[in-house]
Amino acid sequence: MSTADDVSTAWIRRYHPAAQAGRRLVCFPHAGGSASFFLPTSVTFAPDTDVVAIQYPGRQDRLREPCITDIGLLADRIVDELIALSEKPTVFFGHSMGSVIGFEVASRLERKGVNAPHTLIASGRRGPSTQRDESVHRRDDDGIIAEIKLLNGTDAGVLGDEEIIRMSLPALRGDHRAIETYRGDPEQRLRGSITALTGDADPKTTVEEAEAWRRHTEGSFRIRVFSGGHFFLTRHQQAVNEEIAQTLGA
């Protein structure tokens, strides 16, 4: 069953439907994030681009649905949605956990030969097979809130005030469990290109760890380092949008 190019579903959000657009940008949110994080991206690129933002279960209007705490299963579900879309030249953009989900979705779509992106833009995340021993999902509520505040850093307001963070705790815990238990295959590579974007003061990703994305593509690779922490992209929104525009036009 196909999904029309101007339709939103539980998983797929189109804030500015652009059925006649000749290209597509699929956006994957960070841990605890939602599709609406990419509303400004949609404003920027529609109507020339079909901007699709993925909405994971367990947040906003999907709050009553259980989170999917396995990256592979989450990727499988998203693939089921994306293969129902029309074929268009496509770029994936993911931030943090969304970078890994985008990578796994792209890999599955390449194997199926349907709707695979020509480029993955991986923002704010180390290469898939680069491991750290992390267990934020095992902390109590205050411990998770402390982690989110650390990641916000000087880019305050990314996830809102503490009351909003507390409302998001189930999604934050579930998403952290998913990404912290993920183990990437060192031999897994995309045929498409990868662009890595990273902040020079990100406590979750060093520049060297972001460089590790190079090992996961058979295509071209480039990296761009911005000033700032984990949510550098909010401070450098215009420059990040320029990166996306350049990739969409490739």
Distance of CA 235 to the CA centre of its chain: 17
Which tokens sit at 142? 């205050």
Candidates 34, 96, 107, 123; catalytic one: 96
Which 8-state DSSP code applies to residue 202? -
Which tokens sit at 205? 């990703």
Count how many residues are written for the chain.
Answer: 250
- From CA 219, how far away is CA 232, in angstroms rounded? 26
Q: In what helix (H) or strand (E) does residue 208 lie, and over which residues does it extend?
A: helix 207-211
| Coil, helix or strand at residue 250 | coil
Residue 247 contacts residue 121 (beta carbons within 8 Å): yes
96 is annotated as an active-site residue: yes
Q: In what helix (H) or strand (E) does residue 149 lie, and over which residues does it extend?
A: helix 141-152
Q: In what helix (H) or strand (E) does residue 59 lie, and over which residues does it extend?
A: none
Distance of CA 134 to the CA centre of its chain: 19
Question: What single string gives the DSSP state of each residue in 8-57?
Answer: --SSEE-SS--TT-S-EEEEE--TT--GGGGHHHHHHHTTTSEEEEE--S
Residues classed as catalytic = 96
